[in-house]
Amino acid sequence: MENASNLKMPVKRVYHKNPQSKPEKAVRPSQPARVIVGSFALVILVGTLLLMLPVSSKDGTFTPLINAMFTATTSTCVTGLVVYDTFSHWSYFGQGVILALIQIGGIGLVTLASFFTLLLRQKIGLSNMVLTQESVNTNSLRNLHSLVKLVIVSTLVVEASGALLLATRLIPRYGVEGIWVSVFTAVSAYCNAGIDIFGREHPFCSLTVFQDDVVVNVTVMLLIVIGGLGFIVFQDILGYRKSRHLMLHTRTVLLVTGVLIVGGAILFFLMEYNNTLKDLPLWQKIMASFFQSITPRTAGFNSVDVAGMHDATKLFMCALMFIGAAPGSTGGGIKVTTFMVLVMTVVGTLRNKTQTTIMRRRVDHMTVYRSLAVAALSICVCIITSAVILWEMDVATIDGIFEAFSAFGTVGISTGITPTLGIASKIALILTMFIGRVGSISFILAISLRLAYHPRKLVLPEGQIIVG
């Protein structure tokens, strides 16, 4: 037997990664954000091409590129700002394209693709799971399959239920055509799009013709609220019977949503009591106040004349539009959780605390930084868009600001200036709607990656700066 020392064994080289060096694939997690943003852009492009076709318009003519792109963007980004009355300009084919864009934009193309992959009993690869994770805005891959199924199934069930309720009022009013109107309205409300086809009553009327209809108003309000809570909240609530515990995220979303709805309704009631609400009986005043408190948080329907509201009310509604709905929902805005973190950070600072706490839970400082960054970037987008509109158009300052906040919050409520806007204003709003829809994914992810993948932690000398 040969001496073991004389054997020439193959040498397995082991390379130890230098902990000080940045891994080669450290920047690859940014890929999901790029894919998701690209998927929205692709859907908008396809929608633009389809809406430009003569078959999409009622008069059988080509729709101008900028207006087709604006409509495709507002539909995909579930915003609701429109340059044409949806019923008056678009054919049934065009309305069908718009409805498909709303549904895809509300759920997300990546989420839909993942669902059909599961439906065909195929496995979702790790890279696709990461994409889906970012699409539904969750921070965990655990139970992702069940969450994707919940997103699709709950969407179909809620939309179908809403359509059935609306059909009880709209079929007697419009006949068989009421079925299509009910389906369109239910999907638009649940996806927080706010696009309607009630122009058969009169153009751009939205739900003002249903001020006294309890079924229509309550159904639309419920669809908006459910769509704006977020699928993560749904999953947590459904699992409460087993866990007997709700996540801090869920409790925060429910608390802030409830406070904004009730508080917003009270303020709107007081501010518009002798204005847009003056001709309504008391019970309709209350119902309209709740409706206008719910819809600015990314829905886009209106049951009163928005253009006739006081400037102070419009400014208040800008705040609601800016806050928006919950993360992982069909709504936009900076999100109610971001708003809560900002508020509690201010409260903590005033109390001379070094940490942000919510419901006796400490919030990670990175979350605070991201919230501040999102709010700052969002304000910048709204200011720039407002400036473009006011520079190009001769409109009231508050109306220009209102339009910009409505676009960023993917709300869609307008004072009526959208159809009159020029090319520069439309382009600015298109970009703003797009940023408002994907910003919560792309901006936050980009910031978190930059901070999470620093090659080394440098200890820098401390500098003093005076603030306040």
- Between CA 439 and CA 135 the distance in angstroms is 12
Q: Hey, which residues does 389 pair with through a beta bridge?
A: none
Residues 45-68 have a mean pLDDT of: 95
Q: How confident is the model at residue 137 (pLDDT cuts 50, 70, 90)?
A: very low
Backbone angles phi, psi at 85, to 5 degrees: -65, 125
Which helix (H) or strand (E) segment is 227 a member of? helix 214-229
pLDDT surpasses 70 at 133 = no
pTM of the shown model: 0.83
pLDDT of residue 442: 59
Q: How confident is the model at residue 299 (pLDDT cuts 50, 70, 90)?
A: confident
The crossing angle, in degrees rounded to 10, of helices 248-272 and 231-238 is: 120
Tokens representing residue 72 in the block: 């495709």
Q: Which residue has the higher pLDDT, 38 or 77?
A: 77
pLDDT surpasses 90 at 398 = yes
- Between CA 52 and CA 296 the distance in angstroms is 30
The crossing angle, in degrees rounded to 10, of helices 144-174 and 92-107 is: 150
- Among 32-36, 360-364, 432-436, the range scoring the smallest mean pLDDT is 32-36
User: Considering just the CA atoms, what is the radius of gyration of the chain in Å?
Assistant: 25
- Between CA 453 and CA 441 the distance in angstroms is 18
pLDDT of residue 112: 52
Q: What stretches of 273-364 show up as alpha helix (H) in DSSP?
A: 282-294, 311-323, 336-350
pLDDT of residue 78: 86
What is the pLDDT of the chain when averaged over all its residues?
A: 82
pLDDT of residue 68: 96
pLDDT surpasses 50 at 109 = yes
- pLDDT tens digits, 355-365: 899 988 898 88
Which helix (H) or strand (E) segment is 277 a member of? none
User: Which residue, 420, 417, 333, is CA-closest to 381?
Assistant: 333
In order, the DSSP letters of 51-89 are HHSGGGBTTS-PPPHHHHHHHHHHHHTT----SS-HHHH
Q: Hey, which residues does 90 pair with through a beta bridge?
A: 57
318-327 b/e with 16+ CB inside 10 Å = b? bebbbbbbbb
Spatial CB neighbours of 29, under 8 Å, sequence gap ≥ 6: 130, 445, 449, 453
Cα–Cα–Cα angle for 20, 22, 23, rounded to 5 degrees: 120
Write down the residue that tokens 């069930």 correspond to.
Answer: 157
Q: How confident is the model at residue 39 (pLDDT cuts 50, 70, 90)?
A: confident
